[in-house]
Amino acid sequence: MVEPYLRQSALVHRGLSRAAAGAMSGAGIVLSERPFRAMVNLRGEASDAGFLSAVRAAAGVELPLQPNTTQRAAPVTALWLGPDEWLITAPAGEERVLVPALRASFGERHAAVIDLTESRTVIAVSGAHARDLLAKGCTLDLHPRAFPVGACAQTGLARAGALLHLVDEAPTFEITILRSFADYMWVWLADAAQEYGVALRTE
């Protein structure tokens, strides 16, 4: 567990809160970091009704069983990662409650709970040109027909593995990325977004 007073976001060295003071109007892309989000990786049998109800009891969210979809029960979101793998996200600090609750709920059941909170960060890409920006580095079809609000996908973005999640109609994509890739991804996004006009926002 990282002590709160030592905790630094993956992009702290970029001084985003100072940079974000600039003008917002006319920007086609708004970038921000959403740091410290609680992330818990969950493995278990989707065909086991007891496993699904144990997750419901501990995290208060239904696990999505359809590929590339999410389920949200504010403030918790469950993202489909694979046929027996999910990512549970929650507001900062919640991992301290979520992880023990899930472990207790599973008991002897064949399931795994792994706290990934400190290993990843979230970069939010918002604005009218968000799809155009991601299309420069991603092979997925991000058209609303193929990738509606609530869809998620693990894919490659600018040659790095990333988890995309479309959270609203703005559109706002949340890019969950390994901490060690965060700086690379931020620089890539900021550079690729130049032609649309970039604004930064603090969360």
Question: Which listed range, 18-26, 56-64, 81-89, 120-128, lies at the site for other proteins (CB under 8 A)?
Answer: 81-89
Three-state DSSP at 85 gives strand
> Quick check: 50 binds other proteins (CB under 8 A)?
no
Q: Which of 139, 145, 169, 194 binds other proteins (CB under 8 A)?
A: 139
Q: Closest distance between other proteins and the C-beta of residue 46, in Å?
A: 11
> Quick check: 156 binds other proteins (CB under 8 A)?
yes
Residue number, 79 or 189, with CB nearest to other proteins: 79
Question: Which listed range, 27-35, 115-123, 126-134, 152-160, lies at the site for other proteins (CB under 8 A)?
Answer: 152-160
> Of 115, 192, 131, 120, nearest to 161 (Cα)?
120
Query: DSSP letter at 45?
Result: -
DSSP class per residue in 184-201: HHHHHHHHHTGGG-EEE-
* Alpha carbons 120 and 40: distance in angstroms, whole number: 11
> Quick check: 148 binds other proteins (CB under 8 A)?
no
Question: How many residues in the shown chain lie near other proteins by CB under 8 A?
Answer: 13
Residue number, 155 or 172, with CB nearest to other proteins: 155
Q: Which of 31, 42, 68, 95 binds other proteins (CB under 8 A)?
A: 68
What is the token pair recorded at 24?
A: 């917002």
Q: Encode 127-163: b = buried (16+ Cβ within 10 Å), e = exposed.
A: bebbbbbbeebbebebeeeebeebbbbbbebbebebb
Q: Which of 9, 41, 69, 154 binds other proteins (CB under 8 A)?
A: 154
For residue 75, cis peptide bond before it (omega within 30 degrees of 0): yes
Q: Closest distance between other proteins and the C-beta of residue 67, in Å?
A: 6
Residue number, 19 or 149, with CB nearest to other proteins: 149
CA 135, 140, 146, 148 torsion-angle sign: negative
Q: Which positions lie near other proteins, rule CB under 8 A? A: 67-68, 81-83, 85, 139-140, 153-156, 161
